[in-house]
A and B are shown apart, each in its own frame.
Chain A
Amino acid sequence: MHLIIGGAYQGKTEYAVAALGVPREEVCVCDLSREPDLSAACISHLERFVLRCMRQGRDPLTELHRTELESKVLICEDISCGVVPVDPELRAWREATGRFLCALNREAAQVTRVFCGLPLALKGGRGAEEFSR
């Protein structure tokens, strides 16, 4: 599994498409209002899936493991910085997303952080260089 993290609008999906060859139309974009297709080869905005699961009393990691993860590209926004949110739900969401990412990181063969459109390999470094050229 290749885990891609980074801040909002940093180019995470662009990286998956351009450097990892993920067909754009096959990216499943998570949404708060509907159940994502977890069988997709690439799933983005997993932070929204975490919030959706939280609201429904489900564990996102358990849900994700209902499908085979090994060949997947998983994309999640890093929401860990900034001021501690005043809203209790946002606070819980931030923490749940952090724990979720730490757990995925342990399983991932590769972890890449995208910053301003540029990748940084955090774990298992391939695919980064050709993209930044």
Chain B
Amino acid sequence: MILFISGGAKNGKSMKAQYLARYLAGNGGLYYLATMHPGDDEDLARIARHRREREGWGFTTVERFRDIGALRPEPGCYLLDSVTALLSNEMFPPEGFDPGAPRRVMAGLRRFLTAAEHAVVVSDAIGSDAAVYDSYTEAYRRGLAETERDICRYADVVAEACAGNFIVYKGALPK
């Protein structure tokens, strides 16, 4: 089963995703697919906070910043947090902007997620603001939306977090 959770910042996505992943894993493996490539102290602090929040949950952390499609899933459930970071890593590598990243990430995620026994995928809804962006940021914004929409085609459940509540667009969240 593939669960997709998106929504604005600080609406309870990650915590809900942890509960869902643990539930889906049952007695099988429980993996946290860490995607954020730390760029500065703020990132390191965020990673440390997320690690603390996961303590005692039984997650095995798998760090994977790029090329998710090459990863072979073990039985159990993977929590992937987040598509946003994954695309950012591939689209803005140190060697420069890569406009082909969304297509590649989309294909890689499709391969990995559909091969996994269970997966919970977290992303961020960033398409509803009134800012006018430079072409790189706009390409990223579009690429993220297209990647999210592709996941939603094959995901079993699609939900949007809103202040700790979940609006379900597809399927039903496990109780």
Q: Is the CB of A79 within 8 A of B128?
A: yes
Q: Mark B132-155, 1 if CB is under 8 A from A, else 0.
A: 100000000110011011011100
Chain B neighbourhood of A81, CB < 8 A: 8, 125, 128-129
Given contacts A81-B8, A118-B169, A120-B169, contact A10 B132 (CB under 8 A): no
Size of interface on A: residues with Cβ below 8 Å to B = 27
Q: Mark A64-89, 1 if CB is under 8 A from B, else 0.
A: 00000000000001111111010100
Rounded to whole angstroms, the CA-CA distance of A93 and B6 in the bound complex is 26
Of B131, B149, B151, which is within 8 A of A11 by CB? B149
Q: Mark A114-127, 1 if CB is under 8 A from B, else 0.
A: 01111110000000
Is B81 part of the contact surface with A, judged by Cβ < 8 Å? no
Of A6, A85, A132, which is within 8 A of B170 by CB? A132
Rounded to whole angstroms, the CA-CA distance of A80 and B128 in the bound complex is 6
Size of interface on B: residues with Cβ below 8 Å to A = 25
Rounded to whole angstroms, the CA-CA distance of A119 and B168 in the bound complex is 10
Chain B neighbourhood of A97, CB < 8 A: 130
Chain A neighbourhood of B125, CB < 8 A: 7, 81, 115
Chain B neighbourhood of A109, CB < 8 A: none
Chain A neighbourhood of B85, CB < 8 A: none
Chain B residue at minimum C-beta to C-beta distance from A118: B169
Is A8 part of the contact surface with B, judged by Cβ < 8 Å? yes
Of A79, A94, A115, A117, which is within 8 A of B160 by CB? A115
Within B100-139, the residues touching A (CB, 8 Å) are 125-132
Chain A residue at minimum C-beta to C-beta distance from B169: A118
Q: Is the CB of B129 within 8 A of A9?
A: no
Given contacts A7-B127, A80-B130, contact A120 B141 (CB under 8 A): no
Is A90 part of the contact surface with B, judged by Cβ < 8 Å? yes
Rounded to whole angstroms, the CA-CA distance of A115 and B153 in the bound complex is 12
In the complex, how many angstroms separate the beta carbon of A47 from the nearest chain B beta carbon?
Answer: 8
Interface residues of A (CB under 8 A from B): 6-11, 77-83, 85, 87, 90-91, 93-94, 97, 115-120, 132
> What are 17 contact pairs spanning A and B, CB under 8 A?
A7-B125, A8-B142, A8-B145, A9-B146, A79-B129, A81-B8, A82-B126, A82-B128, A83-B129, A83-B131, A85-B130, A87-B132, A91-B130, A94-B130, A116-B4, A116-B148, A116-B151
